[in-house]
Amino acid sequence: MKKPPESALLTDRSDSGPVGPQFRDALGLQDDEQLDEVLDATKKAVAAEGLTQLKRVDRGGYGVVCRAVEKRTGNPRAIKVVLHAEDESRMTIFRRECRILDAAEMPTGIAPRFYAAKEPRNGQPFLIQEWIEGRKLSDWLDAHPNLPMNDREALCRAIFETYARLHAANLIHRDVSLGNIMISGRRIRLIDFGGGGRAVPGYRSLNSLSRVPTTEAFASPPVRNGERKQTIPDEVHAVAKVCFTVLTGKIAFESPDAEWGSILRQSGVCSDVSQFLLPKMETPPHQIAMMSQAKEF
């Protein structure tokens, strides 16, 4: 099986919170000369929304992520700015994310709260959303290398429960990764919904949801190979692989499937958790997957 590029294994985007320090140089965040990617017209449009202290903190799937402060309340906000908006695919992802964040179906407390989206004349389109105080799962795990197994298992249960709430609302995220799951206090939050959609039984169109980002290290083989678009069973599969990493510190993709059980045992994972996780790490059968394929949101 072809191994995904290292960048896919380390995908660690943070579209609503602080970027991990180990990625700041790679993102160009230490270079003041690169901070002018947000145009003056865009900055003025952001200020017109009552926001100040605009500061770039990360790169997102279609542009840059900034932090700003609401003048009226002093509360922080995350501003996602589209770069190269002439690229139709970037605008498709931007508008899709706005729709899903603003959807009535979105369960409370899962995605960042949506405030507004603007497409100013002579400026760059931008999205205003909640700034989530917390850490990406990858950074949180790095900061807790000696986390007891009971706590790791509890974290995995919380991650599964969060995605279960999303799926129960007939929604799908479609880019499960260590960088798109955040630990915020005692809560799990999901970010970067540019690939999100509705889960519709039997939806087979190949003409929508184009160029949806997927983290190859956690994707099911049919999704990774482009044989089908993400479904709820595929997403559960990806969540299981993320939890495998939480429990073992290893990427499931880098080991043969037959070794996953022994890796879990050697890591001290209890048999009940292993028996829950391993079936979900199996490739979802096509017939079952097609019962909940994502539809353009």
Q: Are residue 273 and residue 155 in the same domain, yes or no?
A: yes
According to the model, what pLDDT value does residue 211 have? 54
Q: Given 82, 99, 130, which residue is the final one in a domain?
A: 130
Q: Given 130, 162, 182, which residue is the final one in a domain?
A: 130
pTM above 0.75, yes or no: yes
Q: Are residue 174 and residue 106 in the same domain, yes or no?
A: no
Nearest alpha-carbon partner for 29 in 1, 3, 62, 67: 67
Residue 206 pLDDT grade (very low, low, confident, very high; cuts 50, 70, 90): very low
134-180 pLDDT per residue, tens: 999 999 999 999 999 999 999 999 999 999 999 999 899 988 999 99
Q: Which is more confidently placed, 226 or 115?
A: 115
Q: Are residue 153 and residue 119 in the same domain, yes or no?
A: no
Q: Which is more confidently placed, 249 or 226?
A: 249
Q: Are residue 177 and residue 287 in the same domain, yes or no?
A: yes
Specify if 288 maps to a domain.
Answer: yes
Instruction: Using the predicted structure, report yes or no on whether residue 111 has a pLDDT greater than 90.
Output: yes
Specify if 257 maps to a domain.
Answer: yes
Q: Are residue 179 and residue 232 in the same domain, yes or no?
A: yes
Q: Are residue 143 and residue 198 in the same domain, yes or no?
A: yes
Q: Are residue 230 and residue 258 in the same domain, yes or no?
A: yes
Q: Are residue 78 and residue 201 in the same domain, yes or no?
A: no
Instruction: Using the predicted structure, report yes or no on whether residue 294 has a pLDDT greater than 80.
Output: no
Lowest mean per-residue pLDDT among 124-128, 165-169, 206-210: 206-210
CB 56 within 8 A of CB 88: no
Specify if 235 maps to a domain.
Answer: yes
What CATH number is associated with residue 79?
A: 3.30.200.20
CB contact set of 90 (below 8 Å; sequence gap of 6+): 62, 63, 82, 83, 84
Q: Which is more confidently placed, 41 or 201?
A: 41
What CATH number is associated with residue 143?
A: 1.10.510.10
Q: Are residue 71 and residue 126 in the same domain, yes or no?
A: yes
Q: What percent of the chain has pLDDT over 90?
A: 61
49-97 pLDDT per residue, tens: 999 999 998 877 788 999 999 999 999 999 999 998 998 888 988 998 9
Domain membership of residue 107 as a residue range: 6-130
| Average predicted confidence (pLDDT) for the chain | 83
Per DSSP, helices labelled H in the chain are: 6-9, 40-48, 88-101, 137-143, 149-168, 221-224, 232-248, 260-266, 271-281, 286-289
Q: Are residue 140 and residue 254 in the same domain, yes or no?
A: yes
Specify if 91 maps to a domain.
Answer: yes
Tell me how many domains the chain contains. Answer: 2
Question: What would you report as the CA-atom Rg of the chain, rounded to the nearest whole angstrom?
Answer: 19
Q: What CA–CA distances, in Å, run from 126 to 68, 93, 147, 294?
A: 12, 12, 38, 25
**pLDDT average, residue stretch 217-242:** 90
Residue 36 pLDDT grade (very low, low, confident, very high; cuts 50, 70, 90): low
Specify if 185 maps to a domain.
Answer: yes
Q: Are residue 40 and residue 19 in the same domain, yes or no?
A: yes
Instruction: Using the predicted structure, report yes or no on whether residue 261 has a pLDDT greater than 80.
Output: yes
Specify if 199 maps to a domain.
Answer: yes
Q: Are residue 194 and residue 247 in the same domain, yes or no?
A: yes
Residue 31 pLDDT grade (very low, low, confident, very high; cuts 50, 70, 90): very low
Specify if 46 maps to a domain.
Answer: yes
Q: Is 287 helix (H, G, I), strand (E, B) or coil?
A: helix
Q: Given 72, 95, 130, which residue is the final one in a domain?
A: 130
Specify if 201 maps to a domain.
Answer: yes
